[in-house]
Structure 1
């Protein structure tokens, strides 16, 4: 046989593709750059164009599949079942695409550019996502940060595991992280991920598998390791049962569980019938044992949080912070120092001075005190509650932090003559309090709405 190109029998002429195959990585990159340049750069944006085109086509196809109530009534049972199964597969595929894009956005730090958590950033970019769905994406993205548990994200990308099931596996592995060595974590992640990909395994069965992994860990660990594992596994989770009712689940190490059980079996949980002055029962206590235990726990918690004062922004001042002051700019002119001689960077000093955990002492150029922090500088409990009602939490756009995690921030800096008035303050979570000071952002309040100029 004579090879194409006129070579001798039994020989094959090498073509240009064979030469390309022998190129090393650097040479191949240079070759492809020449190809792109020859194409006028048209090949470089191919993935983006494919992504955009594919999503546009998918939206169009879904639009064509839409039916009116009258149309769907004419679909036969077999076709209806097949269509529902197809929708399920499509949702898994779409979840895989969305997760892949969210993962890349997280790697690039797009959410950090605007000082948002990934969950909040996804909710801003995709308002139709529920908080739970965005949190599930975040949980799986976090799992991908470790090569040991990256297989969870790989299963989502491959379309073999739906996002919500992968999130359950990611949460389980996150809980087990401090109690397992690398090989154990990888083995546990593989078991749970494989179970999550089984179509014959319902969500509740997958939850049992994940729970069994936790139980196995505690049973197999030595006594000392078991205590450490139990401490790592402590958690409180909440789930909405229905309107007006939330389920709270507590996983407590034995020591803390003993304290909780002490409350649940104390006199607070005993029946409390209504009695007359002679001790005769007038009305029996109709609460069930479970309701009495709840009331005992709620009473204990309310006693702990019911003390007067002390929301986050009104803690007792305990630290003196000496801050050099620039009258022209109304900002710190250099690093601040504590009474112990520790240094605090200028922008951090301005942020810390907003907290009632310190008493700021503003100093002139020659070190003379210009102003001392005083009680009136901090929001009162009543003012903090008013801000909590008005702002509903962190006032920074896109942030979902609750009021109890926020501090009061003076929109007009205290050092610049700002006043502690509700109309000139706003709630900020710790992350955005730092962000606002780092970027010296300003805001206005109009009609009870805080608008940040970002």
Structure 2
């Protein structure tokens, strides 16, 4: 705008009341307009700062929405944008995402401080996803992780870095989780020093997410190296963990940090005979030997020659580990005393054909191919649950105070976890709740029970909430 005004500049008019301004050169005129614009901007900022925060947040977000509508372009329109403009626009989008994440985090942190999620007996993750349905579990968990560490004075700087827009939420979450792991092994002074180092690394744009992960990992290594020998074992136990990350469709990566003693046990399994290559040949008609469990290798079937074991070393170690896990889950000779130790596999059933009617799934929602489901359903370590056409398991009733393991399994399949609205607790962490209180004559039948996590079980009893079951769906009257 200033350049256009400069081009329209003409010789000064001596009679003009603005003769002093008209006497300015084009360069001076531009400088004058810049100063005027800055002064007006400062005045607007001062006026904005004087307004209530609730108005500023609402107006600012509405302005942002209008701006995004203006910035929305179709694929055809985007094709007309020049390369430099396209790159610049993408950089601006990244900056806006960080700023929007900062606002969202600040509001979520305040909601957590006020205990809004606790008022409805929810975790912060579940509460955020109810308020923001488009938010993924991972994104909500990242916000929750940063909010949690921000409540400790020694690590509050992590949250402040997100709030001022210098660190994106997902990078701050990496730092937050690292500090949560290290917290019990650090003094308050060390917590502050470690948090400052990691937060500074997270704010550096020249460090990738992988590089940030390496920085956080190095902090863990340094802690173990600096710890006195007598305290190193205790520190290692505090740092034990298993993390799970989806690599791609059909493949999940587990990472284990194990203290040396436990690592020796795991290594013993991975280097045991279970991980050895299967024999490459057998005499024709030899029936073979073994304990009947197998290690998952290519060989092992009787009658005729056996093909060479083509498994890679890593695959053989995996098969050895799974063999031990399956034995533990199956627990031969001593069935689990509670259904929480049972792996459930739901398999749709076609009553007309008397055969499975589709792919199976675990209680976590993971897809299991039909052929593998049929194989797992025959093993002793997995409990197959056959579903009716409308997805409801057969109701089981017993004249008993507590739900039987079979009833609990039926509830787990029907409810899929905690039945309270908005809760994402898995079935393994839920208890069976009588919709009609036992003391009031309620019966222990599947159609009059529902799964509730510990938090919501208490919440329901405290408020004497009721629910109805219709068509395999539990509806809570809240």
Alpha-carbon separation, structure 2, partners of 1:76 and 1:313: 58
TM-score, structure 2 normalization:
0.71
Q: What runs of 5+ residues in structure 1 fail to find an aligned partner?
A: 1-42, 316-373
Q: Assess if the C-alpha contact under 8 Å between 1:312 and 1:407 holds in 2.
A: no
Matching residue within 132, 138, 149 for 1:143: 149
**Partners of 2:306 and 2:340 in 1: CA distance:** 47
- Count residues in correspondence: 354
Give the equivalent residue in structure 1 for 2:351: none
In the alignment, structure 1 residue 56 sits paired with structure 2 residue 62: yes
Aligned CA RMSD, in angstroms, stands at 2.0
Specify the alignment match of 1:416 in structure 2: 440
Q: Which residue of 2 aligns with 1:395?
A: 419
Pick closer, same or farther for the CA change 1:44–1:401 going to 2, 3 Å.
farther
Q: Which residue of 1 aligns with 2:91?
A: 85
Q: Any stretches of 5+ residues in structure 2 without a counterpart?
A: 1-48, 289-303, 343-397
Of 116, 122, 127, which residue of structure 1 is paired with 2:128? 122
Within the alignment, does 1:310 sit opposite 2:342 as a pair? no
- Kindly report structure 1 stretches of 4+ aligned residues shifted beyond 6 Å: none
Q: 1:382 Cα deviation (Å)? A: 2.4
**Which deviates more, 77-86 or 277-286?**
277-286
The aligned counterpart of 1:271 is 277
Q: Is the 8 A contact 1:313 1:408 kept in 2?
A: no
Q: In the TM superposition, what is the alpha-carbon distance from 1:405 to its structure 2 partner?
A: 1.1
CA contact (8 A) 1:96 1:156 kept: yes
Question: 1:381 aligns to what?
Answer: 405
2:99 is paired with a residue of what secondary structure? helix
Verify the 8 A CA contact 1:390 1:448 in the aligned structure 2: yes
The 1-side partners of 2:277 and 2:462 are apart by 56
Per-residue Cα deviation, 1:114-166 (whole angstroms, up to 9, x for no partner): 00000000000001010000000000000111110000000001100011000
- Give the conservation status (yes or no) of the 8 Å contact 1:391–1:450: yes
Deviation of 1:311 after TM superposition, in Å, equals 3.3
Q: Counterparts of 2:419 and 2:287 in 1: how far apart (Å)?
A: 57
1:210 aligns with 216
Please tell me whether residue 436 in structure 1 is matched to residue 460 in structure 2: yes
Q: Is the 2:270–2:318 Cα contact (8 Å) retained in structure 1? A: yes
State the shift of 1:168 in Å: 0.2
What are the within-5 Å matches in structure 2 for residues 238-387 of structure 1? 238-273=244-279, 275=282, 276-277=285-286, 281-307=305-331, 308-312=335-339, 376-387=400-411
* TM-score normalised by length of structure 1: 0.75
Separation of aligned partners in 1, 2:80 and 2:424: 45
Relative to structure 1, is the Cα distance of residues 76 and 314 closer, same or farther in structure 2, using a 3 angstrom cutoff? Answer: closer
Counterpart of 1:447? 471
User: Are 2:399 and 2:444, in contact at CA under 8 Å, matched by a contact in 1?
Assistant: no
Please say if residues 149 and 159 of structure 2, whose CA atoms lie closer than 8 Å, have aligned partners that are also in contact: yes
Structure 1 residue aligned with 2:227: 221
